[in-house]
Amino acid sequence: MAKRQNDGKQDDVVVAMVPFPAQGHLNQLLHLSRLVLSYNIPVHYLGSSTHIRQVRHRVQGWDPDAVPDTRIHFHEIEIPPFHSPPPDPNAKVKFPSHLQQSFDVSIEHLCGSVGELLCSLACNARKVIVIYDFIMKKVIQDVGFIPNAETYSFMSTSAFTCFSFLMDKMGDLIDSPLIDQIPNEIPSLKGCFSDEFSTFMSSVHAINLKYISGSIYNTSRIIEGTYMKLTEQDPEFKKHWALGPFNPVTVATTNSRRHHCFEWLDKKPPNSVILISFGTTTALSDQQINQIAIGLKQSDKNFIWVLRDADKGNIFSNGEVRKPLNKWINKSYKAFAFSVLASPH
């Protein structure tokens, strides 16, 4: 167990988190930070000022501000302003292309600063563990020159999704008796991404980091054991660890931040409520929302529907729009439906 010393001596081990600047990525590595902190290991969370502010505002289940400063350190790196347009709910490709400039500017301007911070941490610790989002390869590619650094890639998607990407890459080269357990009709990934993001990811895959110790997944082998075993055939990584779930799984009933929808949910029988949420990067058109509403009505099931616009690159800029749910939901529905702003307010 690592111990932080306050007498000027080195830390034994410190961990540096380098997340990708999108909510689903930022949030997972912040939750992983909480787990690392439970072993009394200091954590350094690195990112742009805007995105660190975002993830700290939105964290649920625990309060990072309540953690002593000697154990978790947020390194807010200033980057130039970037264009932050609203999402297009009528776009043909549902990928959040409006976030691309946020991705590009963040990665371009984090490279040098993150490298310097990691070198500084390495000078004051016996070992630095770098856990970086797979998409942030470019930002941490100089870690190989730090002799006391150990590096792990974090895969932000499920093992099933990672295997889907692996199938696209390796195809018939995957050799495992488990392949017979894979559904025959896995949807194609074609058309899921914008051309710009596909080019962006090609540049990520082109970076070959030979010093990576392995990959970390926010999943459990109890749930995704088959896909974890199949994903282990990826020659790019040596070892694979399923360490999830990262997020707190115990809900404090006295938590003052507990959403009022839980009062409604607590009155429903177990396994009787459907949750509908498309996350922080999907913007639905009015036609799509209407079709979902019709389906929920006809299902005659209790449901919680979270409806929101997709995040902008900078969620603190003006212009978020609340979806008027009463346009689609009325009292005849067995529902607790609410809309949220694409911001932390």
For residue 232, with 0-12 CB atoms within 10 Å meaning exposed, 13-18 middle and 19 or more buried, which class applies? Answer: middle
Q: Is 133 among the residues known to form the active site?
A: yes
Strand, helix or coil for residue 267: coil
- Nearest to 289, CA basis, from 279, 276, 300: 276
Which residue out of 51, 98, 133, 234 is catalytically annotated?
133
Strand, helix or coil for residue 52: helix
Structure tokens at 19: 């997340």
In eight-state DSSP terms, residue 91 is: -
- Nearest to 183, CA basis, from 167, 196, 199: 167
Strand, helix or coil for residue 108: helix
Structure tokens at 93: 């490709």
In eight-state DSSP terms, residue 92 is: S
How many CB atoms lie under 10 A from the CB of residue 124? Answer: 12
CA distances from 234 to 41, 82, 173, 215, 302 (A): 30, 35, 10, 10, 41
User: How far, in Å, CA of 185 to CA of 71, rounded?
Assistant: 47
What would the DSSP string read from start to end of 136-173?
GHHHHGGGGG-TTEEEEEEE-S-HHHHHHHHHHHHGGG
Catalytic residues: 25, 133
